Structure 1
Amino acid sequence: MARLAFFLISFLSVYFHFTAAATTAAAAATGSTSSYTDFVKSSCSAVQYPALCVESLAIYASTIKQSPQQLAQTALAVSLARAQSTKDFVARATKFRGLKAREYAAIKDCSEEMDDSVDRLAKSGKELKRAGASKGQDFRWHVSNVQTWVSATLTDTTTCLDGYASATLNGRLKTSIRSRVLNVAQVTSNALALVNRYASKP
């Protein structure tokens, strides 16, 4: 009986020890996740579309942690993904039946602009990684390339949106394309702001 009591006491002691350790670890992990999310929110407060910034980047907080480079890298990846999705949608739209010549021309032009955007954003992501492994003049050169390409992407989206403003398009199709391109423009604007913030690091 005494042995059984000793065994139970030992078992409960070990059980509560590991339970307490697990609880402490979970609390620490929760605290870290919270601080990472706070970092994203704080960084997003300085961009043009803060709510969209938080919405698109907070889910990656545990990967971003508190790294300005990783934040900018993730923002570029989000822009690339949305640009690719929009490019695919616009490309499909060129094959819709019943398009008028002006409608087709506007959609075709936009498709080409989005194609350029995807290429530039893909290059920007790779170039930012090179910047992270560089210092001094090399760092500034790589970042400058990223800033140039991302700015050019914003010009691409503006050109696409201007084309729809001047063309007589089917209402539903026009709304669908414009909303997607506008979203790409907004997340890309945010990405550029975060790249600029990273570029200004000491």
Structure 2
Amino acid sequence: MSNHPLLYFLTAVFFSFWLISCSATKNNHDKTGDLIHSACLHANYPTICLRTLSSYKGPAKTHRDLAQAAVKVSLSRARKVSKYLTQVSSSVNKGINKRERVALSDCVEQLSDSVEELGKTLSELKHLRGETFSWQMNNAETWASAALTNEDTCLDGFEDVDGKVKSDVKKKITGVARVTSNALYMINRLDESRDRPRFNP
């Protein structure tokens, strides 16, 4: 009987800490959700932006986190589609007409370039420094823009092409181009924000 008051006290303390922990976690999630929502609100494809960044498993607490996350999503999808196009190109090369074959071949090259450019973009965003911030952001914007141009050029190459692979390829490339467009928007938003690394002489 004499141990009951101590047991109640310890239980109450534990429960209080648990409530505080849950509250802190909820507040962090709310803040992250608010940041993503406000950041995606004016993106070119806000619904895609919200869906991809809300399900992203990495940190997303600052504009810099969001920019990196958006580029990672774009890079991941570009790699998958690039691999898919390479496989399609090698497997159906003899069974498609010349115009479709040329468009597909060009698209393989353009997506490969896009993957490389997005990789450079991500690397630049990971190593931002206060003293070179503007120069690095210009690099990131240039590479992300080039990646988007390559994806759009791939789509344009299929405009006047009829064939069995056109529909599937266009659907996949359109998906990549939209997340890349959102990534470029997040990079531009970071460039305009105050979320900059401090100057380290």
TM-score (norm 1): 0.90
Please state whether the residue corresponding to 1:167 is helix, strand or coil: coil
Counterpart of 1:180 in structure 2 is 172
Q: Where does residue 7 of structure 1 map in the other structure? A: 3
Aligned-CA RMSD value: 1.4
2:140 partner amino acid? V
Partner of 2:64: 69
Instruction: Give the conservation status (yes or no) of the 8 Å contact 1:33–1:62.
Output: no
**Residue 161 of structure 1 pairs with residue 152 of structure 2:** no
Distance 1:100 1:42 in 2: 47
1:35-184 equivalences under 5 Å are: 35-60=31-56, 63-65=59-61, 67-97=62-92, 98-131=95-128, 134-136=129-131, 138-170=132-164, 173-184=165-176
Q: Which structure carries more helix by proportion? A: 1
Is 2:21 the counterpart of 1:29?
Answer: no
Say how many residue pairs are matched: 192
Q: Structure 1 residues 49 and 37 mapped into 2: Cα distance closer, same or farther (>3 Å)?
A: same
Question: Compared with structure 1, are the counterparts of its residues 61 and 160 closer, same or farther at alpha carbon in structure 2 (3 Å cutoff)?
Answer: same
Aligned equivalent of 1:200 = 192
State the distance in 2 between where 1:9 and 1:111 align.
72
Residues 40, 61 of structure 1: 8 Å contact kept: no
Q: Which runs of 5+ in 1 are unaligned?
A: none
Question: CA distance change for structure 1 residues 164 and 177 in 2, over 3 Å: closer, same or farther?
Answer: same
Superposition deviation, residue 62 in structure 1: 6.5
The letter of the residue matching 1:13 is F
Secondary structure, counterpart of 1:63 in structure 2: coil
What code does the residue aligned with 1:128 have? L
Deviations 1:64-110 (A, max 9, x none): 12x11111011111100010011011111102332222222111110
Bigger CA radius of gyration: 1
Shift >3 Å, 4+ stretches: none
Q: What's the CA shift for 1:186?
A: 0.6
CA shift, 1:111, in A, is 0.5
2:199 maps to which residue?
none
Give ranges in structure 2 of 5+ residues lacking alignment: 195-201
For residues 62 and 189 of structure 1, what CA distance do their matches in structure 2 show? Answer: 20
CA apart distance, 1:61 = 7.1
Equivalents in 1 of 2:178, 2:28: separation in Å? 29
Q: SS of the counterpart of 1:162?
A: helix
